A and B are shown apart, each in its own frame.
Chain A
Amino acid sequence: MAMFIRVDLDASLQQDVDLKKRLVEVCPVDIFALDGDTLTTVDANLDECTLCDLCTDAAGARVKVVKLYE
């Protein structure tokens, strides 16, 4: 269970195949993964999030990185 970070994915993301691939690519700590065609977040890696904003740069408001300690 992640203690510090939650990543929310907007449902509309699942329609955008290129963006899903990009998210898997950009995250330096492998927080995004494709389960078949479905984009998911990897629970074990969430707390490793470096807050680098690469995912939000790619997906805009459709990805939200939430700091659980705030």
Chain B
Amino acid sequence: MRFYEYEAKQLLAKHGVALPKRTFARTADEAASAARELGGATVLKSQVLTGGRMKAGGVLFAATPEEARTAAERILALPISGQQPAGVLVEERRDIAQEYYVAVTWDARAKRPVIVFSDMGGIDIEEVAQTHPAHVSRTHFSNLRPLSDYVAKLAVARTGVTGNDLAPLTRIVLNLARIFVQYDLTLAEINPLAKLSDGSFIALDSHMDMEEEARGGQRALLAELAIADTDTRQARPPTPFEVDGARVDAADTRGVAGRVVEFDGNMGLVIGAGGGSLTLFDAVRSAGGKPANYCEIGGNPSVAKAAALTKLVLSKPGVQKIAVMMNVVSNTRADIMARGVIKGCIDAGRDPAQTIAIFRIPGSWEEEGAKILRRYGVEYVDRSVSMHEAAQRAVAKMG
């Protein structure tokens, strides 16, 4: 789950990291009065859940409140990577002497959090990591031992920073690592971390991601930031079809019918689960098929759930047929799936024989499943037909 910059900065402020004076504004009027209160030059930043704002024109500078209003108007009207901004962050403009970079994230290889620190921060940090590796340090810390100051000191000192800058930078890095741990974040980044002409340090921009599974445990934080349970923070808002997909899943605890994503095609997919869905979606595309949706159904769903998902997929305009396919299943039952998709077709007012292009779910209870399908005139294929062949056959039937 992703935080907006203004929320990330609220967390930094709470944990003692210095920041520019700032106000979050939802309208151009609010932005103008915020600029007036801040006094002097301001910078206005689009609040979207994506990087690359600067290059997209989502960061503008203003010398006066009137300029701030114009800038805010432009920013609020500018979608970035398809996202409508949630508002603008109006900040006082500061003179920067040097830019640093600090982030804490998971290193899946080492299975530990890692602090990445650089004394050459800014938007080109990835390039710096390539061209000036000595200026980018990576410092892992233990999941079990208490997080101690020396870890942060090591991260900073490894890039050659010493003297008066070492102590304040160590403190900021340590605070960021603590925030990462305390709030179950998967990314906590300050870039740039700026040294001002007076020698002090402030966080100019920040990115934070929280683990999706942690939402339950972090209720207090979400309440503090006024983030509602319904606020999914996905990169693009879900379509009504996708919202209905989530509803199908939530209506019944047996099995999962998740990750329903909508596409433009004419071939509905009832496929599962994780790896099987990825494989089958590829298979349909490489056979020249045009999927109408992606989904992951599995974990031994109920007949009702399989039926509801089938009906939903068939409700999408332009869907001619559906393909029902899975890898060799261990606990999902072929017969239960067969009942579900046939019921879904009939509930949607369609003839299963004409609607189900193919049914390929080998594994548990497959003989029983085959009987049901035969009765309704649906083509059933067993494990001797590979996932790719099954997809090809289904696509061939689309006409």
Residues of A within 8 A of B (CB): 3-4, 29, 47-48, 50-51, 67, 69-70
Contact = CB atoms under 8 A, between A and B. Distances in A.
Contacts of B375: 69-70
A3 B375 CA distance: 12
Given A47-B339, A47-B343, A4 B304 contact: no
Interface residues of B, number: 15
B248 to A, nearest CB: 16
Contact of A3 (B335, B336, B342): B342
Interface of B: 302-304, 333, 335-336, 339, 342-343, 346, 368, 371-372, 375-376
Given A47-B303, A48-B303, A4 B368 contact: no
Contacts of A67: 371
A3 B346 contact: yes
B286 to A, nearest CB: 34
Contact of A4 (B302, B333, B372): B372
A3 B343 contact: yes
A4 B344 CA distance: 13
A61 B339 CA distance: 25
A53 to B, nearest CB: 13
Nearest to B374: A69
A69 B303 CA distance: 15
Contacts of B304: 47-48
Contact of A51 (B302, B343, B368): B368
B340 to A, nearest CB: 9
Q: Is the contact region of chain A dominated by helix, strand, or loop, or is it mixed?
A: loop
26 contacts: A3-B339, A3-B342, A3-B343, A3-B346, A4-B303, A4-B339, A4-B343, A4-B372, A47-B303, A47-B304, A47-B339, A47-B343, A48-B302, A48-B303, A48-B304, A50-B333, A50-B336, A51-B335, A51-B368, A67-B371, A69-B371, A69-B372, A69-B375, A69-B376, A70-B371, A70-B375
A47 B368 CA distance: 14
Given A4-B343, A70-B375, 4 more contacts: A3-B343, A3-B346, A51-B335, A69-B375
Contacts of A51: 335, 368
Contacts of B372: 4, 69
A69 B376 CA distance: 9
A6 to B, nearest CB: 13
Nearest to B305: A48
Contacts of A29: 302
A20 to B, nearest CB: 25
A4 B342 CA distance: 10
Contacts of B342: 3
B194 to A, nearest CB: 61
Nearest to A4: B339
Nearest to B343: A3
